Amino acid sequence: MFETVYACGGRAAEVCGLYVEDLDLRLDDEHVRIHGKGGSVRSVLLDDRGYVALLKLYLARSGYTSGPLCRAGINGSTGPLSYDAAHHRWETYCAAAGIEIDIHQLRHAHATELINAGVSIEAVRRRLSHASTETTQLYTLLADDIAAATEPPADLRLGP
């Protein structure tokens, strides 16, 4: 579930609502249909080969051929995993690791990586389903801040 949030740049609630039927795992055309805010639907390319392999393994081992992708197993129920349950699991994992990261930061990290890789702001906007480019541009500022924070001091730089 968390890898899907990161790999697709989806909101946690969107990923909780995914069904196996939303996946298209045909070779070289792997993508997922994400149902977003306001009834919008977007197709997101699954361009991470490692993630696609992990997803295929998950489906094979679980035997899921239809229905919710991320399922709750409480009291024998196999309904969709709720956002609250996913959020609770995330907090439990973070506490065990001794870190404080909000689940939504997986989406931010995905967007920042795309921008750092040179993907256009418009392509990132569409992938994240932002209504406005201004919202997406916040990630360019974050990417700039990260780059500035990792630059060596002026006296250690090579060249002019």
Q: Which residues belong to the active site?
A: 11, 37, 104, 107, 130, 139
Q: CA-to-CA distance for 113 and 94, rounded, in angstroms? A: 21
CB 110 within 8 A of CB 76: no
Q: Which residue do the tokens 């709720």 mark?
A: 82
Q: CA-to-CA distance for 155 and 116, rounded, in angstroms? A: 25
Residue 135: count of CB within 10 angstroms of its CB? 11
Q: Which residue do the tokens 């931010």 mark?
A: 108
Q: CA-to-CA distance for 145 and 160, rounded, in angstroms? A: 22
